[in-house]
A and B are shown apart, each in its own frame.
Chain A
Amino acid sequence: EVQLLESGGGLVQPGGSLRLSCAASGFTFSSYAMSWVRQAPGMGLEWVSGISGSGFNAYYADSVKGRFTIARDNSKNTLYLEMNSLRAEDTALYYCAFSRAGEVVAYFDYWGQGTLVTASS
């Protein structure tokens, strides 16, 4: 059974940093691109970042480019999102997700339950 378990969310002051993790199991992690998708409270879904299965290629939404870094450790079956210079508008539930199609730009079959990031003073 595929499982994605996010962690690392919390309350941080604007300008601060957080690192999110997504522990994956039940599939061959290194074979699939992975993404982070966020949802601000009461709002819609926004794709944030994606990374290829090898980890060599990373992609970002304009809203986070230069502040967030996506990475993965295929030996640990774990996806990361390093978030710096956090802003109030980054407050959201952050999901990790992936597609059986294997690509970054794809539909998302599988989702975790999310970890909440709150950037507030």
Chain B
Amino acid sequence: EIVLTQSPGTLSLSPGERATLSCRASQSVSSYLAWYQQKPGQAPRLLMYGASSRATAIPDRFSGSGSGTDFTLTISRLEPEDFAVYYCQQYGSSPPAFGQGTKVDI
């Protein structure tokens, strides 16, 4: 099974700053990597799939990059509504697996 490791665990930033979140896979997942945002009391929301494709209605301040084992989610300028927990997920092989999450807070 593929294990995903996200870093850092917590990212403390201010509105307007750039956020860079990392996700590393224990073996190659090609570009089969997705990112989700989750706010308290809400279901996860798909942000990115295929490592770099934005999901429907996701603003372009969110971008994803990487392939193989190393991936990055970048939020170019943090808006107040972006403070949340972010998870990566691989779907290159079964079973699908999630990282442990990165919390972006103020």
Contacts and interface: CB of A to CB of B under 8 A. Distances in A.
Interaction A to B: yes
Interface of A: 35, 44-47, 50, 59, 61-62, 95, 103-109, 111-114
A112 B94 CA distance: 22
User: Chain B: interface residue count, which band?
Assistant: 20 to 34
A10 B105 CA distance: 32
Interface string B37-58: 0000001111001000001100
Given A44-B98, A114-B43, 18 more contacts: A44-B87, A44-B99, A45-B87, A46-B98, A47-B96, A47-B97, A95-B43, A105-B93, A105-B95, A106-B91, A106-B96, A108-B34, A108-B44, A108-B46, A109-B46, A109-B55, A111-B44, A112-B43
Interface of B: 1, 34, 36, 43-46, 49, 55-56, 87, 89, 91, 93-101
9 contacts: A35-B96, A44-B87, A44-B98, A105-B91, A107-B49, A108-B34, A108-B36, A108-B44, A108-B46
